[in-house]
């Protein structure tokens, strides 16, 4: 069984819509949280698996990338504009 979880984030000014998919491709969770660093980190910390995160390219992309670097539990798949 694949212990990875894949997280997709759609960030907005006030909220972030999140979907979590398991290694078999089944959506296991969907939620909306506040666009606050503490809420995002709390959400990530609550997931028990190897995590792979992606998010849309937009005004919050750089901030989400920097925030995701706080935890070593996440591999990040970034919008093309954020690659060096």
* Domains, the chain, ordered by start: 4-82 (3.30.420.40)
Model pLDDT, residue 21: 92
Query: Has residue 81 got a pLDDT over 70?
Result: no
Tokens 């506040």 belong to 34
Helix axes 61-68, 37-45, angle to 10 degrees: 50
Which pTM value belongs to this model?
A: 0.79
Query: Has residue 83 got a pLDDT over 50?
Result: no
Model confidence over 17-65: pLDDT tens digits? 999 999 888 999 999 999 999 999 899 888 888 888 888 777 887 888 7
């Amino acid at each position: 069984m694949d212990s990875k979880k894949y997280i997709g984030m759609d960030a907005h000014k006030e909220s972030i819509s999140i979907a979590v998919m398991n290694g078999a491709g089944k959506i296991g969770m969907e939620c909306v949280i506040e666009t606050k660093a503490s809420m995002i980190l709390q959400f990530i910390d609550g997931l028990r698996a190897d995590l792979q995160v992606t998010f849309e390219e937009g005004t919050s992309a750089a901030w989400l990338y920097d925030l995701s670097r706080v935890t070593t539990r996440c591999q990040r798949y970034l919008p093309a504009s954020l690659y060096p």
